[in-house]
Amino acid sequence: MEWQLQEAKNKFSEVVDRALEIGPQEITRHGVKTAVLLSLKDYRKLKARKGTLADFFRASPLADKSAESSPGRIGRSET
C-alpha cells in the first residue's frame, strides 16, 4: 500500500501492522515515493549476504562449460 507521509505519521501503528501482515509499505512525500517501511523479517532477508560474485559464477549452470572464442569474431555475426 502507498501512504502519504502525513497519513503514515498519524497512523504509524497501522502502517507497521500492515508491513507485518501484508508486506512493505511505500511512503510518499509531495507525491514522490521516498521511503519504504518493512518488517524486520523482510529487512533481514534483504540484508542477508547472498555470497560472493565468485560463488555466483560457481553455481551457474554454465560453470562446467568452456568458453569458446574465435579470433576476429567479436560482436554481430555477418549474414
Full residue range of the structural domain in which residue 22 is found: 2-59
Q: What pLDDT is attached to residue 62?
A: 82
* pLDDT on residue 30: 97
Does residue 67 lie within any of the structural domains? no
Q: What is the pTM of this model?
A: 0.62
Query: If you search the block for the grid coordinates 502502517, which residue do you land on?
Result: 15
Q: Residue 54 domain-assigned?
A: yes
Look at residue 11 and tell me if it is in a domain.
yes
Q: For the domain that residue 24 is a member of, what is the CATH number? A: 3.40.1620.10
| Residue 3 predicted with pLDDT over 90 | yes
Backbone φ and ψ for 3, nearest 5 degrees, come out as -120, 140
Number of structural domains found in the chain: 1
Sequence-distant (≥ 6) Cβ neighbours of residue 29 within 8 angstroms:
4, 5, 35
Residue 78 lies inside a defined structural domain of this protein: no
Length of the chain: 79
**Which residue in the block uniquely carries the three cell numbers 568452456?**
66
pLDDT for 25-71, tens place per residue? 999 999 999 999 999 999 999 888 778 888 888 888 887 776 565 56
What pLDDT is attached to residue 71?
62
